[in-house]
Each structure stands twice: as structure tokens, then as C-alpha cells.
Amino acid sequence: MSASSNPEPKVRINHKAQGAFFVQDYTGKPPIDGVQIVELKRFNDDGGAITELGRFTAGMHAQLPGFECKQANYSEMEPGAIKAFHMHFRQTDVWYVPPCDKLLLVLHDCRAGSPSEGRTMRFVLGDGKDRLVRIPPGVAHGARNIGRATGRIIYMVDVQFSVTPGECDEGRLPWDHLGAEIWEITRG
């Protein structure tokens, strides 16, 4: 028997189970064009920890080429809350969720003509990891707090927020624009 062929199963399963059986796909899905994930280092000692979110020179982030930070924000989400979807025409967001929190981030490429137009990405931020996620303009984004405590987001943007009509760059899509099931925890 060659290494590439499937070995004979040791057990047979009944018809009902066989009809519902599938093999989970563990391959990585193609990313949305322009979305960047930066793994960060966490430095621990016996008194605590520090995570460096970025080094800036004249507002330019060293790990995110072309991103100039113009404003930094802090947001909180209650357990179970869904904040979605919002989108910008000019603004890039860079999100960080502390490792002790757990948020499901959903991104959807709404850019006409983009190489990844219509593509959706779902992944968890926080949950023991330190990383940044760069979200380009035209990519709808939102989050669901799937943790048991208040979830926090620290995010940087390259356009300062304005409530003035004509200057405001934050628009909305319905929370269920991709279907309510997009926010459900994957079971199985």
C-alpha cells in the first residue's frame, strides 16, 4: 500500500451517520486582499506582561507599511454583543484585542473589482494571542464578544473621526448582512 492511499477503515458506520459524516477542512482560506495580520510578542515576567503594539516614526507604523496612525481608540463590548457591520471609504483600521478577551471578527470585502471581492473572513481575536489586524477601506467589519466578560478593542485609524456630514467616513450595513448564522459559534 502506498503512503498516499487511504488505509482500509477499522470500523464501518451505520447509514445515518455515514450520510451526515464529513471531514473538517483544516486548510487555510484565502485572505481578503489588503487584510494583514501581524503576530505580536508578549514579554512576561513575574510581575506581569507587556505587548508592544507598534513603533511609530512620524505616525508611520513600522510593521504596517503605508499606515500612518492619526487617532487611537478604545472600545468595549458586553458579553454576547454584536457590533456590525461598519465600513469606511477612506479609513484603514488596525485592531488589537487583549489576549484575555475573546472576540469573533468577521470581515467581508465589499470593494467592486477587488481580487477578493465578496470574500469573507472569520477568526477569533484575543483568546491568548497578541496580534494586530489591518482592515482596509471597503472591507466591512464587525465583532461579536464570545467571551464571558466585557471585551475590549484598541484600534488605530489613519483618518480622524468626524460627525460632520460630508466628512464622516463611517457607514453601516445591517448586522445580518451576511446572514445571522455568520455570528454563530462553529459547532462540530
Query: What gap in Å lies between CA 8 and CA 10, rounded to an integer?
Result: 7
- Give the helix/strand (H/E) hosting 138: none
Return mean pLDDT, the chain. 92
Residue 37 has pLDDT above 60, yes or no: yes
Q: What is the distance between the alpha carbons of residues 13 and 5, in angstroms, rounded to a whole number? A: 20
Return the C-alpha cell found at 171.
457607514
Tell me, what's the pLDDT at 140?
97
pLDDT at 139: 97
Class assignment of domain 27-177? mainly beta
Query: Residues 6 or more apart from 25 whose CB is under 8 A from it?
Result: none
pLDDT band at 11 (very low <50, low <70, confident <90, very high): confident
* pLDDT tens by residue, 131-164: 999 999 999 999 999 999 999 999 999 999 999 9
As a whole number, mean pLDDT of residues 36-44 equals 92
CB 63 within 8 A of CB 132: yes
Buried residues in 105-138 as b, exposed as e (16+ CB within 10 A): bbbbbbbeebebeebebeebbbeeebbbbbbbbb
Residue 152 identity: R
pTM: predicted TM-score of the whole model, two decimal places: 0.85
With bands split at pLDDT 50, 70 and 90, how would you rate the model's confidence at 188?
low
Taking only the tens place, the pLDDT of each residue in 42-61 is 998 898 888 999 999 999 99
Which DSSP category does 68 fall into? Answer: B
Closest CA to 51 of 124, 127, 105, 132: 132
The pLDDT tens digits for 74-96 are 999 999 999 999 999 999 999 99
Q: What percent of the chain has pLDDT over 70?
A: 96
